[in-house]
Structure 1
């Protein structure tokens, strides 16, 4: 695997201790020379400042970084101000998302969908930003049907997205089928595969229930059989995910986007296996 076709995602730390831990993890992951790091944006923009602070630290360290930007709960004026802030700092890449609704959120949004956000970014800033959007090989959990979901994805690209990053998955066929279907709709941008290392069974189940990612039955049963044996869970998870990555790269995936959970170890181990280093 080439070292310039993968990226790594962080979430903004909420405490000083978390920030210190992330700096240590980031320094280790930076030695892998990823194409860029991305930094998530909380529900309703709840971590907006933390996102920007983390991105600016990464840029200051000499690496490319992409803040996430969501439109849920944000007015056009607020998003316009954020875009101006990004531009003033020389940020050229971002990940545009609808975003998750914050708990108890009952308000409306001027921009309802990610396609609206992408269209707005292009109208406001032209070609300044390289825009990544989300894709869901196993269907967005709130979509009415796979066909609707695919059309929604195509609209984001038509609105001006440069590339896409998928939700994580453990079934390579789902990814390849999704890409084929997107190509039939005329979507020609790179669709990078999102990769979630398996390190904690309970956490993985919780995340997957929330985001609609399917854990194959044989993987789920095997993980459950290990009980509290975290070493076995991590070893098995590493085998499953490295095999998945190998299938994806050999099948023509244009890149991998690792959901690091602010940890250096799992992503580093996967990278070493894929590069035989």
Structure 2
């Protein structure tokens, strides 16, 4: 089923999970365990990340096929412009269609390892709007796009991320999923600016609970996700207590998601890192308390959970 139709017809906000293709037998077993646990939560859909190169690409298609036919989950394949010509991307899209995929998240992709700036592959695409347009013109997929409440590392000016998202929608994207963020005011401001530009597609927040100090100093720094000062201070105070870090991360993400849903966000996309406990705890709490049924307050008064 198309994800844009799932979002439109769902009586409640959508909850979705993001996975990455395993590279080893041990990682595959970890993913299998997470899938078995998270499947019980009846996600609206799941997505699988994508890397340039044949083996990673093939794993993405395999995982998406398994998610749909072996686990009964609606799945979306990520697709990037990195390391492929237009004809090679057409071939990948055909393989996805043959595998029964209905949904694609069209991305530019990060520069290959060791390179600081993205450079188009000769004969390839220079941007995600270009990729989105090809898919929309030649394939029947429901297309999603990435959105950046905080500035993308390659943003040229303050309004660049809004204009890029607008271009993706104009090219055929039916919904947007944001990069990870930890201050809700960034999301509310971004969506408000999109609406001012006439962009009315659903914008699903992408959230990932912080479950280790290394994660907050490594991966999140790499992708440019800003951790609010109060939250950073509380994390650092628990540096020698890994379990306390996990508890704080789950609590913060639960409060963050509850506020987003209470203010009208159409759903939450959980970046799971192929693990289940944190996502399971957060989603169970949200479904118990159903914050989306509360009367929305003005987004201008909202921001981050009160750890500032």
Corresponding residue pairs, total:
275
CA distance in 1, matches of 2:244, 2:47: 30
1:263 is matched with 275
1:226 aligns with 2:238: yes
8 A Cα contact 1:164 1:192, kept in partner: yes
1:115 is matched with 129
1:59 is matched with 68
2:259 to 243, 247, 251: 247
Q: Provide TM-score, normalisation by structure 1.
A: 0.95
1:196 is matched with 208
1:78 to 80, 85, 88: 88
CA distance in 2, matches of 1:168, 1:142: 16
CA distance in 2, matches of 1:56, 1:3: 26
8 A Cα contact 1:73 1:107, kept in partner: no
**Deviations along 1:91-137, whole A, 9 cap, x unmatched?**
10111100111114586322110000001111221xx1111110000
8 A Cα contact 2:85 2:125, kept in partner: yes
Cα 1:99–1:92 change in 2 (3 A) is same
Residues 97-116 of structure 1 aligned to structure 2 (within 5 Å): 97-104=107-114, 108-109=120-121, 110-116=124-130
Post-superposition offset of 1:2: 6.9
- Gap runs ≥5 in structure 1: none
1:91 is matched with 101
8 A Cα contact 1:94 1:132, kept in partner: yes
Q: Secondary structure at the match of 2:239?
A: coil
Cα 1:3–1:20 change in 2 (3 A) is farther
2:227 is matched with 215
Post-superposition offset of 1:228: 2.5
- Gap runs ≥5 in structure 2: 1-9, 290-308
For the aligned residue pairs, the C-alpha RMSD in angstroms reads 1.7
